[in-house]
Structure 1
Amino acid sequence: MPDAPDPRLTPARPDLADIRLKGTVVAERYVAGEPARVVVPAAPLRRAPRLEAGLETEAVMGDAVTVFEVRQEFAWVQIARDGYVGYLPEAALGPTDPAPTHRVTSLRTFVYPAADLKRPHVAHLSLGAAFAAEAREGEYWRLAGGGFVFAGHAAPLDEAEADYAATAERLVGTPYLWGGRTSLGLDCSGLVQLCLQMAGRPCPRDADQQERALGGALPPGLDGLRRGDLVFWKGHVGLMLDAERLIHANGHHMAVAVEPLREAVERIAVKSFGAVTSIRRLDPIG
C-alpha cells in the first residue's frame, strides 16, 4: 500500500484540493491555484485560518506561493520554497511581478522611506528576505514596491554563502520560536533550512523531512565528524561546527546555542528526543 500523502505538503482538504491532485486525492472540488508573492517582511503560516492557530512556519518577503482559496482574510496556500501548505494572512500577498533580484544577507536590515539613514524606518527585513531592486541611489537600493534598503546589507539572488555553518554561527543567541525561520526567532529545522537556503541549497522545512532528503548517512557513532554535518534526533536537528561542537536552536537554551555534541547527546537522550537517529553529510556543491 502506498504511503499516505504528507498533509504538510499536500494542498488537499475534504472540500477543496489542487487540481493537479485530481485522481490522487478525493475532494468536493478541485481548483487551479493562482500565483502570488509575499510582499510583507514576514508572514505566519498557520495550520488553520485563525489567529490563535499554531504557527507551522514563516514566509518572508519575496517568497512565491500558490493560492487555492481566500476567505475571511486568510489565504490557503502552498509555499514554493519547500512545498509547505497552510494559511497566510491575505494582506501579506501581492502580485508575482516584479520578481526579486536581491536578498538580505545581514541578520536584518531596515526599509527607509528615502535613501537617508536619518529618516524613520518603515519596516525591517530579515536574513533571506528578497526584494526587487529598481535602481541604485547612492548607498541604497530603491525597492520596486517602495522604500530603500542599504545596499551593503543585500546581494544578488545568485550569490551564495559557501559556508552554511558560518551563517548559523551568526545566529547564535537568536531566541527559540516554534515554527520560526527568521533572525527574530528560529526553531531547529528553521535554522538549518535558513542556513542552507543562504548557501543556495534546497532544503525541506521540518527535521524528519530533512533527515530523509539531505546528504548521505554516516556510520553510527560520534567520531570522525566535521563542519557542516547534520545530527538528527526524532524531532530535532543540529549542525556541527567542527568535530566536537554542535550548534542548534533548542528549547533547553530557548535560543540558538553552541555546545559540545556529547553533552547535548547525553542531555537530549534523557530529557527530550531520545537517541541520535542519524548523522548526515551533505555533498559539496560543484
Structure 2
Amino acid sequence: MQFSIGTKGWICDALVNMHDEDQPLATQLLYGESVEILSEIDDDGFVKVKNFYDGYEGFIKASSISLEERAKPTHFTNAIKTFIHHEPDVKTKPLSYLPFAVEITLTDRQENGFGYAQDLGWVYLKNLTPIDEPVTDFIETAKRFLNVPYLYGGRSMSGIDCSALVQLCLKTAGIKARRDAREQVLELGTLVTDNAPVDLTKIEFQKDDIIYFKGHVGMMVNDQDMIHANATAMCVSIDNLKEFVKNVNLPVTAVRRVK
C-alpha cells in the first residue's frame, strides 16, 4: 500500500492502538475515524497519523487504514459493543464487532430487526442511533460503562480511561471534546471555576458538570456523586466527590459546565 504524506484515509478496523514516542498505548482509534497521513511507512509497518476528530497524533499499523472513498455516515453505535453478523439473524456467528460511538453508513436493507451497514454487514438496529439525533443525557450513557476496566489510553468497552469516557459520552450527545483532560479543561463548555484547589463547599454542583483534577476528569451524576474511569477502583465507578478527593488526596482544579 502506497501512502503519501498529507493523504486522508480512514480506520477500517474496529479498534486500533496508537502509540507515540513516550507511550506504548497513547490512545485508540475507532472504525471510520478519519486520519491524515503524516509520515512514510516504517520498517515495522507503522505510519504516523493525525486523528481529524480530536487532533491526536501517533503511530498505528498502516494496514488499519483505508484510502478508499467512504460514504457519509448515517448512524452511530449506542451500545458499548455491537456485533456485526453475516446474516440478519441473532443465531449466526458474529463476523466482528464495533465499539461504542462508531459512525457507520446504514443502507435501506432491513430484516428481522437488523440493518445492513455498508462495508460491514448486518447490525442490530436497536444498537444504532441516527447521527442527527444525539443522546443528550450523557450521564446515562456513561453509566453503561460501569465496571468496564480502566485502561490508560483505552477508548472502548475492553478498557477505557477517564478522558476517553468523557469524550465518547459527549460525542454521542453532539458535543465535541478533545482527547486528553489537559486539553478538555481549556475549552470544553463554560468555565464554572478554575480557582485551584477548588473549595468544594462553595460550589453548587449540578448533574452533567465536568470535574477536573491534575491528570484526571469525571462527570457529576448528581450534586454529590461523580462517574469516572479511575485507577483507584481500576474500572468505571460512581464515587462521592468529596470522599474521593479526601481518600486519594487529589484536589479539584476546575469545573466546567456543558449544559
Judge same fold: TM > 0.5, yes or no. yes
Structure 1 Cα separation of the partners of residues 228 and 208 of structure 2: 12
Instruction: Tell me how far 1:98 sits from its aligned partner.
Output: 2.0
Give TM-score scaled by structure 2 length: 0.90
Give the distance between the partners of 1:166 and 1:89, measured in 2 at CA.
34
Residue matched to 1:265 = 245
Letter in structure 1 aligned against 2:84? V
Equivalenced residues, count: 246
Partner of residue 15, structure 2: 42
* 1:79 matched residue in structure 2: 51
CA deviation digits over 1:6-54, x for unaligned, max 9? xxxxxxxxxxxxxxxxxxxxxxxxx751111111111111115xxx961
Equivalent residue, structure 2, for 1:239: 219
The alignment status of 1:131 with 2:104, answered yes or no, reads yes
**Which residue of 2 is the match for residue 90 of structure 1?**
62
Query: Who is 2:121 aligned against?
Result: 147
Deviation at 1:77, TM superposition (A): 0.5
Question: Which residue, out of 56, 65, 86, partners 2:26?
Answer: 56
In structure 1, list runs of 5 or more residues that go unmatched: 1-30
Q: Which residue of 1 aligns with 2:186?
A: 212
Question: 2:246 & 2:211 partners in 1: Cα distance?
Answer: 14
1:91-240 equivalence runs, <5 A: 91-94=63-66, 95-138=68-111, 139-219=113-193, 220-222=198-200, 223-240=203-220
CA RMSD of aligned residues (A): 1.7
Equivalent-residue separation in structure 2 for 1:280 and 1:197 (angstroms): 16
State the SS of the aligned residue for 2:141. Answer: helix
| Amino acid paired to 1:67 | I
Matching residue's letter, 2:120: G
1:152 CA drift (Å): 1.2
Q: Distance in 2 between matches of 1:209 and 1:147?
A: 36
Deviation of the 1:184 alpha carbon: 1.9
Q: Matched residue of 1:75: which SS?
A: strand
Q: Distance in 1 between matches of 2:108 and 2:14?
A: 20
Three-state SS of the structure 1 residue aligned to 2:94 is coil
Please give the alpha-carbon distance, in whole angstroms, between the structure 1 residues aligned to 2:31 and 2:94: 17
Q: Give the match's secondary structure for 2:126.
A: helix
Bigger RCO of structures 1 and 2 (CA < 8 A, at least 6 apart): 2
Aligned partners of 1:170 and 1:194: how far apart in 2?
Answer: 12
Superposition deviation, residue 189 in structure 1: 0.5
Other-structure match for 1:22: none
Equivalent residue for 1:278, pick from 237, 254, 257: 254
Per the normalisation by structure 1, the TM-score is 0.82
